[in-house]
């Protein structure tokens, strides 16, 4: 059994945090010493490690309490909800980043903010020896294995929504290579 001081050292959390977790019922010590001091069991240590993992994933304490009290299938739902919220936040931050760059009106700003553009990504793939066919195969596999991830990735490159729809439809086999190429050329003319 560990004392609260030992738990503080082990976890890196403040004593007041552990006391707060006890007060709200998130982490109650398994026992008390004869003098009334809190004592934490190995199971308490594991629970605290879970709490810290969920906190580092951005879950609120109320969500963590729900996850810890829920059956495994409900836990996945809560975590998936958090993941979707993060994806939305990331998309929003990317749009803000693009807007700031547009306001600055400096092409170099893309390099300074470490954002990847579609053009830079294609340049990297070509430098790695990817042919046009290799890149197409890569998109098809990405769409097949992780369609939502493919969408997120394309958004992260700053690809416009119409082009993302086209790429994903083509990668899913809904469009021929010729139709996809013609549509892409039309999109490029629109944007220039």
Residue 12 lies in a domain: yes
- C-alpha pair distances (Å), 39 with each of 3, 5, 36, 145, 181: 5, 10, 9, 47, 67
Residue 30 lies in a domain: yes
Residue 15 lies in a domain: yes
Domain count along the chain: 2
Residue 135 lies in a domain: yes
The CATH number linked to 26 is 1.10.1660.10
3-state DSSP of 115-174:
CCCHHHHHHHHHHCCCCHHHHHHHHHHHHHHCHHHHHHHHHHCCCCHHHHHHHHHHHCCC
Residue-level pLDDT at 29: 94
Residue 155 lies in a domain: yes
Residue 35 lies in a domain: yes
Last residue within a domain, chosen from 10, 31, 59: 59
Residue 185 lies in a domain: yes
Q: What are phi and psi of 34, to 5 degrees?
A: -60, -30
User: Are 171 and 139 spatial neighbours (Cβ–Cβ below 8 Å)?
Assistant: yes
Instruction: Name the CA radius of gyration of the chain, rounded.
Output: 25
Q: What share of the chain is helix, strand, coil (3-state, %, to 5)?
A: 70, 5, 25
Domain that holds residue 175: 116-191
Do 53 and 120 sit in the same domain of this protein?
no
- Residue-wise pLDDT tens for the chain (192 aa)? 999 999 999 999 999 999 999 999 999 999 999 999 999 999 999 999 999 999 998 889 998 998 998 887 788 888 888 899 898 898 888 888 878 877 776 655 555 556 677 888 888 899 999 998 888 889 899 888 988 888 888 888 878 888 888 889 888 888 766 554 544 444 444 444
pTM over 0.85: no
């Amino acid at each position: 059994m560990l004392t609260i001081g030992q738990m503080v050292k082990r976890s890196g959390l403040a004593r007041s945090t552990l006391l707060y977790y006890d007060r709200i019922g998130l982490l109650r010590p398994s026992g008390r010493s004869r003098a009334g001091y809190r004592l934490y069991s190995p199971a308490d240590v594991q629970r605290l490690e879970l709490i810290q993992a969920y906190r580092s994933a951005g879950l609120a304490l109320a969500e963590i309490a729900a996850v810890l009290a829920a059956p495994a299938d409900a836990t996945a739902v809560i975590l998936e909800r958090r993941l979707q919220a993060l994806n939305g936040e990331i998309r929003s931050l990317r749009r803000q980043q693009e807007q700031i760059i547009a306001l600055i009106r400096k092409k170099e700003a893309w390099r300074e903010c470490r954002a990847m553009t579609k053009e830079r990504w294609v340049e990297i793939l070509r430098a790695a020896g990817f042919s046009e066919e290799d890149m197409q195969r890569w998109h098809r596999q990405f769409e097949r294995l992780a369609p939502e991830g493919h969408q997120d990735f394309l958004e992260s490159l700053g690809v416009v929504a119409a082009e993302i729809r086209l790429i994903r439809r083509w990668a899913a086999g809904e469009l021929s290579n010729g139709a996809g190429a013609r549509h892409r050329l039309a999109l490029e003319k629109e944007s220039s």
